[in-house]
Amino acid sequence: MNIKVANTPYDVSFKLKENTGRSITQIECASVIGSLTYVMHCTRLDIAFIVCKLSRYTSNLSTDHWKTITRVLGYLKKTMDFGLFYNNFSVVLESYIDASWITSAVILSQPLDEYLF
């Protein structure tokens, strides 16, 4: 498959809408959208908006939806080597949580839980 690279995952001037015409092959498109969802959850949050929009139309996709899918793939192709690198930081990952719904000011002044990974 020859996919052109793209600078952004989604063209904001192009609006996705419900397909009223002929539907394209659902199995292949649903499989690609499922794969994009996996990639989005694991490593690429930058494609979350468009993947969620495409997921709305999985049952009745048009050629416009397929063009949008290929644009996302082109964006991933171009940004394949992008990443976040943390240098000169300690290896310890710290996380703090305070999930109390109690409204007492005395209790809220003290953190309830602390987690250190």
Residue 106 belongs to a domain: no
| Phi, psi (deg, nearest 5) at residue 38 | -60, -45
Predicted local confidence at residue 105, as pLDDT: 53
Expressed as residue numbers, the domain containing 17 is: 1-86
Residue 109 belongs to a domain: no
Tally of structural domains, the chain? 1
38 contacts: CB under 8 Å, gap ≥ 6: none
Predicted local confidence at residue 58, as pLDDT: 85
Identify the bridge partners of residue 113 per DSSP, sorted by sequence position.
Answer: 97
Residue 46 belongs to a domain: yes
Query: What are the tens digits of pLDDT across the range 58-89?
Result: 888 888 888 999 999 999 999 998 876 767 77
Residue 117 belongs to a domain: no
Residue 78 belongs to a domain: yes
User: Do residues 98 and 112 make contact, with C-beta atoms less than 8 angstroms apart?
Assistant: yes
In order, the DSSP letters of 72-85 are: HHHHHHHTTT----
Query: What are the tens digits of pLDDT across the range 4-59?
Result: 999 999 988 888 888 887 777 788 888 999 999 999 988 888 999 999 999 988 88
Predicted local confidence at residue 47, as pLDDT: 92
Residue 39 belongs to a domain: yes
